[in-house]
Structure 1
């Protein structure tokens, strides 16, 4: 009976590994977004949704304005505020003195049936004059030449939208372990970056740097659909893909640095909110990526330890050892995704099991808190703000 159960585990792992291998082969030799100085053949609007970002916004805007200098295709930079109380407006107005294309727009209060970032994106898109929209988070430091490079790549690849795998900056030994364990779940669920798709269940996106055709967004109503989602980037991408638009997710030769969370505790509490990617498009097919994460990423190391300690068959221990070695290979592959990290990064596989459990808990969580606002998640994956809550 024990041997049958172990054989069943290995057979399921093998079937899942075959699918993951296809994802890796698809991305092998895939193009990267290269530097381009060619003027974009269309007008571009930059939208930055913010809420209480007075500390992070200055560095972000300095980098953005460096990229925008000498790029007349960027017709405007819209700082869309959801009701900041910390001096974010003053920061934006200070930069407006040196860049007339920059505008600060207060779109508060956020309606009770909308998530703040998606609301900011929707209002920004309604004001934007560009043919393409570049949406950035306030912690995203763009390199010089990025906007034209995105435009050139989108044109060459025939994409309607694309986003970029950014470089993360981790502080402290625990965050340097925890972040890559979370990040690697994306690789095991969807494969590495470097592809475009029209399949809503296979699409990937990163809202920290998202570039899309305004006409495609408008025709599919992608931003409005994401108002009830806590993973608005994924929901927008899925909506675009469902409407038949090609959506890409790629690495770039121009490093884009992002500092998502200030501590490991903040990361643990908040990233699973969006990382589970649960929205109105979630269905039974979403169980397959989670099965890959559980059986191929999290399970092999403890199963190998159990096999060695309990004397399970050598063929079972060997199968788990192969998967552990593959996990180490993925670790080396994801090392380039970090601008700064501690040496503890290399121990991150030890946190795969708790990370898996945290994501499974978030998958079924019905009450969520984000940016001072409490949300209730319905059975269909959509969320609504609870009464008498404020913020984003």
Structure 2
């Protein structure tokens, strides 16, 4: 039995979609060679006369994560370091954790914020207030859910000097402990990094800019030249905003992949994964609907077609339609599944090295990813975001109101 023209057309179109996956393998290999990688074999900045660095850690209700982060920062081998912890209106024991660290280490100071002014997101305001109190020539902005090898800062300072970077950032290991973290986190990271390929963002000749606020090291002169966090006060991904401004001045902005020397555990439950990543993708795509819609459509075409084709082929065979079309469709769909899973395995391992085996749950991760993207689209349409107990945006969707100044109380 021969194939009809329509069946031939279907198979040729589907074969073209399947052929995209070995190309993706090649692209991954090429990209890996172009990335900057930092590990424990990388050079360290040592010796006398090192520039002063102030580590700034904003913390809102981070009682559980903050102790490990602080311990890793206090253990840095880089000698010229002081530490500012910003307790941003926490309702738990965050302030107590920070004060205990200050009592144990004279390098640690604590700022306690009592309010959030209009026009600011919580993190940008916390970092803005802390930057004004910082003593360092370089500012090291860190999230409270990060942990760092003792030589991490020395390695990144050497990297910044070697690349002449005014802003240096890291992509840390994503620590995933629960099932949903291992399934969703790597895929969400893939969605973001496909929008901001770091090998392109690191190219001084290209306008694309990227930085990761979980670990962002910036020279004070560059920070002040772009207006600091006041210039990105209404952003939820202030890191990308700062990177754009710094690169806009013609200053190098660099990001390195560094799972050996830095790690983070971003969100610990399915609900927080959906809320957190939807906020990130909403702002990282400049609050525009079309790029987010594209992020939903592309996997439907190149990934989910493999599942549909496999079910269709098995269904046709089960119904007794054992002609060449059914067998060709089955063969292509199985090839599609193997190629897709092998690419996803590499990508999961890249974003979160210990989660590669969970690429098998990609169909489930894809559903959650679509929920995240749909929620981000809703944010674009309404201008309203709720994060860490704070609601942003007017009910009419007109966005964040105009900025104003705020207050803080400082302790040692």
Superposed pair shares fold, TM > 0.5? yes
Q: What pairs with 1:266-281 in structure 2 (closer than 5 Å)?
A: 266-278=272-284, 280=286
Q: What pairs with 1:1-392 in structure 2 (closer than 5 Å)?
A: 25-28=30-33, 30-35=35-40, 36-39=43-46, 41-67=50-76, 70-74=77-81, 76-191=82-197, 196-198=202-204, 202-221=208-227, 223-252=229-258, 254-278=260-284, 280=286, 295-296=301-302, 298-305=303-310, 308-309=313-314, 311=325, 314=328, 318=332, 321-322=335-336, 325-335=339-349, 337-338=351-352, 345-365=358-378, 366=382, 367-376=384-393, 383=400
SS at match of 1:112: coil
Who is 1:390 aligned against? none
Compute the displacement of 1:318 (Å): 3.9
Larger Rg: 2
Residues 289 and 269 from structure 1, CA distance in 2 versus in 1: closer, same or farther, beyond 3 angstroms? Answer: closer
Residues 326 and 101 from structure 1, CA distance in 2 versus in 1: closer, same or farther, beyond 3 angstroms? Answer: same
Is the 8 Å Cα contact of residues 230 and 383 (structure 1) preserved in structure 2? no
Residues 253 and 267 from structure 1, CA distance in 2 versus in 1: closer, same or farther, beyond 3 angstroms? Answer: closer
Provide the aligned C-alpha RMSD in A.
Answer: 3.9
SS at match of 1:163: strand
SS at match of 2:83: strand
Residues 19 and 171 from structure 1, CA distance in 2 versus in 1: closer, same or farther, beyond 3 angstroms? Answer: closer
Residues 176 and 30 from structure 1, CA distance in 2 versus in 1: closer, same or farther, beyond 3 angstroms? Answer: closer
Unmatched segments (≥5 aa) in structure 2: 1-5, 317-324, 403-412
Is the 8 Å Cα contact of residues 193 and 250 (structure 1) preserved in structure 2? no
Compute the displacement of 1:177 (Å): 1.6
Counting matched residue pairs gives 380
For residues 22 and 392 of structure 2, what CA distance do their matches in structure 1 show?
36
For residues 254 and 227 of structure 1, what CA distance do their matches in structure 2 show?
32
For residues 400 and 28 of structure 2, what CA distance do their matches in structure 1 show?
31
Is the 8 Å Cα contact of residues 165 and 249 (structure 1) preserved in structure 2? yes
Is the 8 Å Cα contact of residues 194 and 251 (structure 1) preserved in structure 2? no
Q: Which moved more, 1:169-178 or 1:11-20?
A: 11-20
Cα distance per residue 1:90-133 (max 9 Å; x no partner) = 21111112211111012331112110011111122222222221
Residues 10 and 94 from structure 1, CA distance in 2 versus in 1: closer, same or farther, beyond 3 angstroms? Answer: same
Is the 8 Å Cα contact of residues 47 and 134 (structure 1) preserved in structure 2? yes
Residues 246 and 12 from structure 1, CA distance in 2 versus in 1: closer, same or farther, beyond 3 angstroms? Answer: farther
Residues 363 and 239 from structure 1, CA distance in 2 versus in 1: closer, same or farther, beyond 3 angstroms? Answer: farther
Compute the displacement of 1:48 (Å): 0.4
Compute the displacement of 1:179 (Å): 2.0
Compute the displacement of 1:225 (Å): 2.9
Is the 8 Å Cα contact of residues 77 and 102 (structure 1) preserved in structure 2? yes
Is the 8 Å Cα contact of residues 52 and 84 (structure 1) preserved in structure 2? yes
Is the 8 Å Cα contact of residues 162 and 210 (structure 1) preserved in structure 2? yes
For residues 21 and 168 of structure 2, what CA distance do their matches in structure 1 show?
27
SS at match of 1:230: coil
SS at match of 2:187: helix
Residues 280 and 347 from structure 1, CA distance in 2 versus in 1: closer, same or farther, beyond 3 angstroms? Answer: closer
For residues 210 and 180 of structure 1, what CA distance do their matches in structure 2 show?
21
- Length-normalised TM-score, structure 1: 0.80
Compute the displacement of 1:279 (Å): 5.7
